[in-house]
Amino acid sequence: MGKNHPKVDDYVVSRVRALESLLLEKGLLAPDAVDRVVRRYEASTGPMIGARAVARAWRDAAYRARLLQQPTAALADLGVRYDRLVVVENTPAVHNLVVCTLCSCYPWDVMGLPPTWYKAPAYRSRAVSEPRAVLAEFGLVVPQEREVHVWDSSAELRYMVMPMLPPGAQDLSEDELASRITREALIGVAEVTLPARAG
């Protein structure tokens, strides 16, 4: 609603340009800062840190325990300094889902910037009150016998789901597994699937 309205775009474009030029003039903004910030986040590796961590946890029981119990240390093993990740594990008994109802909190350092749908009112309002219906919209049906745990990121902790290892994954390398782990799976709106085998 409103996002593609030409008048709105013109209004915001003018306003953003005005602000940027004023801040530059007043010496409150360095000329190269905007481009550097943009490059840092636009080219970020997205969910790859999270995907690598999960893939390693799937292959290495000790790392799995570390990721769940000492996530800061587990991320440091991957060369990432981040002290506020909490990893929640999907099991046959529990499916986890992550949301930020109040704004859009998301583990940027581990999963990149969040998708638009995650930050929009439909998901933020419904993930906490009707998670199964939301998951069904994503094509994920959680059987009634399984519990659904929704984590509302209301403080400074950031949550990531550890999806379950898909069946038939035993022949795949850690890298191949990581390439199959999407940010949707790490948010909890999808499970990890493997491509169908040929023949």
Partner 1 sequence: MNGAHDLGGMHGFGPVDPEPDEPVFHHDWERRVFALNLASGFLGQWNIDMSRYAREQMPAAEYLATTYYEHWLFGLEHLLVKKGLVKPEEIEARVAELRRQRVGRPAAGS
Partner 2 sequence: MRVLKGADVEQVIRKSGGARVHVELPAKFKAGDRVVARNLHPLGHTRLPRYARGRRGVIDRDHGVFIFPDTHAAGTGQKPQHVYAVRFDARELWGEAAEPRQFVYLDLWESYLDPA
Could you say whether residue 146 binds partner 2 (CB under 8 A)? yes
Q: Identify the three-state secondary structure at position 58.
A: helix
CB 67 within 8 A of CB 87: yes
Query: Closest Cα partner for 130 from 142, 115, 120, 119?
Result: 142
- 103, 129, 154, 173: which is the annotated catalytic residue? 103
Contacts of 116 (CB under 8 A, 6+ apart): none
Could you say whether residue 173 binds partner 1 (CB under 8 A)? no
Which of 56, 124, 158, 180: binder of partner 1 (CB under 8 A)? 124
Q: Identify the three-state secondary structure at position 92.
A: coil
| Rounded Cα distance, 164 and 122, in Å | 26
CB 59 within 8 A of CB 33: no
Contact of residue 84 among partner 1, partner 2, none (CB under 5-8 Å per partner type): partner 2
Q: Which is nearer to partner 2, 27 or 195 (CB)?
A: 27
Could you say whether residue 45 binds partner 1 (CB under 8 A)? no
- 14, 21, 44, 100: which is the annotated catalytic residue? 100
Query: Closest Cα partner for 128 from 156, 152, 147?
Result: 152
Could you say whether residue 40 binds partner 2 (CB under 8 A)? yes
Neighbours of 81 (CB within 10 A): 8
Q: Identify the three-state secondary structure at position 54.
A: helix
Could you say whether residue 134 binds partner 1 (CB under 8 A)? yes
Contact of residue 122 among partner 2, partner 1, none (CB under 5-8 Å per partner type): partner 1
Could you say whether residue 113 binds partner 2 (CB under 8 A)? no
Could you say whether residue 126 binds partner 2 (CB under 8 A)? no
Could you say whether residue 101 binds partner 2 (CB under 8 A)? yes
Residues 24-43 that bind partner 1 (CB under 8 A): 26, 28-30, 33-35, 37-38, 41-42
Q: Identify the three-state secondary structure at position 174.
A: helix
Contact of residue 148 among partner 2, partner 1, none (CB under 5-8 Å per partner type): partner 2
Could you say whether residue 149 binds partner 2 (CB under 8 A)? yes
Query: Closest Cα partner for 186 from 105, 88, 120?
Result: 88
Please give the residue ranges that form the binding site for partner 2 (CB under 8 A): 27-33, 35-37, 40, 81, 83-84, 86, 101-102, 128-132, 144-157
Catalytic positions are 100, 103-105
